[in-house]
Amino acid sequence: MSCTGIVESCQTSDSAADGKQGWFKLEQVVITLDTGIHTSSQYALSIDFVGESQNIKTTVELSPKSASGLSEIIRAALSRGVKMGIVDEG
């Protein structure tokens, strides 16, 4: 197994995450696709939810199949919200 070097990130606003110290302002999300550490998959997608100003981070590690499923259900929920008029498109 080798490192892939695949890293994507985005800044966030009006977002929050719950960690060991309770809820914190979420300022950045970093996604990496690399060697799995806590999953049985050879490779895993890790999502880091970062509160930089509080120096807080919580991480989720998913198998590629689970990550793909998560992506699909997020898109489905947002699409339903758009259809209901409670979420802006885009």
pLDDT of residue 90: 67
SS3 7: strand
pTM, full prediction = 0.84
- Number of CB atoms found within 10 A of residue 67's CB: 19
Of residues 45, 41, 49, the one with CA closest to residue 32: 45
Asked whether the beta carbons of 43 and 4 are under 8 A apart, the reply is yes
Whether residue 72 is predicted with pLDDT greater than 70 in this model: the reply is yes
